Structure 1
Amino acid sequence: MPILIALLAAAAPLFAMATERWGGLNPCLLCLWQRWPYWVAAGLAVLALVLPRRLMLALAGLAVLVSGAFAVVHLGVEAKWWPSPLPGCMAPNASPGQTIDQMMASLAPRPAKPCDEPTYLIPGLPVTMAGMNLIYALGLGGFAFWAASRRKG
């Protein structure tokens, strides 16, 4: 069970990276933040092989739910219910007294996708990537907690 949870946790950020490489999707900063808890969860699930199994799997489930919490924030930003808490999601703006050269130098080398611009993976399906992550995080987090509650056997 720990290896399965580790593989399922690692699958989420790997799938997201594949959509960038082969699907041409550009992630925003909130998208990137949703990935790291899955790597933590995968590591914790692997540690369940040598450390207390129930504790490590429960912590893995909690880590996955942290990604789900980031997804909720991201969904709210996409729906324009609230602004992004990350300054990197904001469009750059000029400070008084800045020259054009200074403004150009402050721009990121690669254009970033705004966090409030929803990304839909499947045409016609009204669920954004953040929404899919929330559904996946709730399912995998619940599965990890269920696995943690089972007797080893």
Structure 2
Amino acid sequence: MTRKSATLLLTLASAAMILSAWGFQYIGGYPPCKMCYWQRYPHFAAIAIGGLALAMKARLLAWLGAAAMLTTGGIGIFHSGVERGLWEGPSSCTSTSIGGLNTDELFDQIMNAPLVRCDEIPWEMFGVTMANLNALGSFAFAVGWLWVAIKSD
């Protein structure tokens, strides 16, 4: 496989991840949480990086593609841990204790609560969640980008 074809394949892979996320969101009825959105941003970056890499053939861009995939994979691992209760996620998208809150603070927390919580698993198959799928796929894509970066012309 050539560097160009691998770059195209990796760019399309990130596009497929975004399309899949949109499919879950708009067709499947699974609205994303805040961390789900965070996992999408590096894929958008990888699509742009891939487009530039196809046009410019700059090896540095492949390294950036790998970094983007490692970033979203890391966010996916973190999100997976939050979903499974291994650690706390951002207070802006997980449940928090209401102990010690006065009535006004409790009301503000309720009114500012996100619609979708990051610490709940909205979908899973055979114990694999969407965050798990993103992490696994993204780490595989990172290996592909690294291969593109080090492959000789």
TM-score (normalizing by structure 2):
0.82
Matched, 1:115 2:114: no
Are 2:102 and 1:96 aligned?
yes
Long gaps (5+) in structure 1: none
Other structure's SS at 2:44 match: helix
The Cα RMSD (Å) is: 2.4
Residues of 2 paired with 1:67 and 1:105: CA distance? 30
Aligned to 2:17: 12
Which ranges of 4 or more aligned residues in structure 1 deviate by more than 4 Å?
92-95
**Larger helix fraction of residues:** 2
SS of residue matched to 1:117: coil
TM-superposition CA deviations, 1:83-131 (whole Å, max 9, x none): 00x232134759525188x6498335xx622111113243xx1101111
> Does the CA-based 8 Å contact 1:91-1:114 persist in structure 2?
yes
Q: State the distance in 1 between where 2:109 and 2:120 align.
A: 23
How many angstroms apart in 2 are the aligned matches of 1:83 and 1:99? Answer: 21
Counterpart secondary structure, 2:117 = coil
Evaluate the alpha carbon distance shift between residue 9 and residue 99 of structure 1 in structure 2; reply closer, same or farther with a 3 A threshold. closer
What SS does the aligned partner of 1:151 have? coil
What fraction of aligned residue pairs are identical, expressed as a percent?
Answer: 29
Report the TM-score when normalising by structure 1: 0.82
CA contact (8 A) 2:94 2:117 kept: yes
Distance in 1 between the 2:103 and 2:21 partners? 40
Gaps of 5+ in 2: none
Deviation of the 1:27 alpha carbon: 1.5
Query: Could you tell me whether the CA contact under 8 Å between 1:120 and 1:126 is conserved in 2?
Result: no
Q: 1:104 to 1:75 in 2, by over 3 A?
A: closer
How far 1:60 sits from its partner (Å)? 0.5
* Matched residue, 2:143: 142
| Amino acid aligned to 2:19 | L
